[in-house]
Structure 1
């Protein structure tokens, strides 16, 4: 591991807005009251990477709380550091494996979930690793409030099609579906937030897919 990664791992462990997987589960059911010190809605970004979406959502919606979740601490470091330096106090990060997410959030604790440009896990043998597989969708259903919904933003056409199929198979409620977000009517201020990787995809003339659905 490079010296820069080691430095980031060490530094991120000192950040007040980051909860590490070895910290236990002190905030389960109490993220708003005990971590953010308010009663505002809690929104998650899964596989958040460098946290660009999480931080920018926090800036747009100061009346909500946002938690970026990823396993790679050197990536989380960037978003957490930006939030601290810029005083975005309604943003936090949780370093865990997403497979264990139900251990950290109570039933009905979450208002909304964002999944932005996840690994599509294209191999058939890795379907269960896809963040929109039925295995994960069951976890989200448990954590979300009855009116909560899931957003998927991806450049991967196959993952978009797969998720659309699962929405149909499971009888979920579909609100928005587009295979070309930036040439659609849906590209508002929120959906126009662009991560580092999305900017690269757009430079390569890739279309951006978007789905919004609930249980």
Structure 2
């Protein structure tokens, strides 16, 4: 294993804002994020497949009155997010090192106020439909974690995933679509992103891709 990755993994083992296998909270944080980790009653927001945590950290800076959890399986990625949160002295940020398929082990029914999904892999091949993070299976699971009135937000550069997700969400009775756009940067909805961009989003925009956005509500 490359030395750099080893350093990231060692960092994760010791970082207080990272929850992962082997740490006490990993097996008992479900339903207890507010009491056991954040020690407040502020709303809980999760960014799934958060990568380097750019959105998690960016929104946490804007909303100190909300608690943010970035979830990703890659330790070297969340190590970078963890460092960014610590450097910014953010006490409202946590990172959870786990795969999305295991989210049931970490989030209780109705525990979350918002779920964000930022530029996920669109998985365009038909055989990869089970991996799409906005398929019917995943949407039902997100609905379990969201409280009534909670928000699910998707941001993507993929035309395919955008239209697929609109269709899947509209067919799911757990959600009501509040708004959507196929060109976020020329939409009033851009204001709700507070200028937060991921590294890859900057690349997509520079190449001329439009950014799509959907926000829906748990009914």
Tell me the TM-score range normalised by the shorter chain.
Answer: over 0.9
Give the counterpart of 1:63 among 62, 65, 75: 65
Q: 1:173-212 counterparts in 2 under 5 A?
A: 173-188=176-191, 190=193, 192-212=195-215
Q: Which runs of 5+ in 2 are unaligned?
A: none
**Contact in 1 for aligned 2:139/2:169 (Cα 8 Å):** no
Match of 1:112 in 2: 114
Secondary structure at the residue paired with 1:187? helix
1:11 paired to 2:11: yes
TM-score by structure 2 length? 0.95
Q: Distance in 2 between matches of 1:214 and 1:39?
A: 21
Q: Which runs of 5+ in 1 are unaligned?
A: none
**Contact in 2 for aligned 1:45/1:114 (Cα 8 Å):** yes
Q: Distance in 2 between matches of 1:35 and 1:201?
A: 35
Match of 2:164 in 1: 162
Q: Distance in 1 between matches of 2:133 and 2:22?
A: 23
Give the counterpart of 2:42 among 40, 43, 58: 40
**Contact in 2 for aligned 1:181/1:187 (Cα 8 Å):** yes
Q: Runs (4+) of structure 1 moved beyond 6 Å?
A: none
Q: Distance in 2 between matches of 1:63 and 1:210?
A: 24
Secondary structure at the residue paired with 2:71? strand
Post-superposition offset of 1:13:
1.3
Post-superposition offset of 1:22:
4.1
Secondary structure at the residue paired with 1:121? coil
**Contact in 2 for aligned 1:21/1:94 (Cα 8 Å):** no
Post-superposition offset of 1:50:
0.3
**Contact in 1 for aligned 2:49/2:72 (Cα 8 Å):** yes
Give the counterpart of 1:101 among 96, 100, 103: 103
Q: Distance in 1 between matches of 2:60 and 2:48?
A: 15
Give the number of aligned pairs. 215
Secondary structure at the residue paired with 1:188? helix
Deviations 1:91-137 (A, max 9, x none): 00000010110111111100000000111111111111111111111
Q: 1:165 to 1:189 in 2, by over 3 A?
A: closer
* Aligned residues: CA RMSD: 1.1
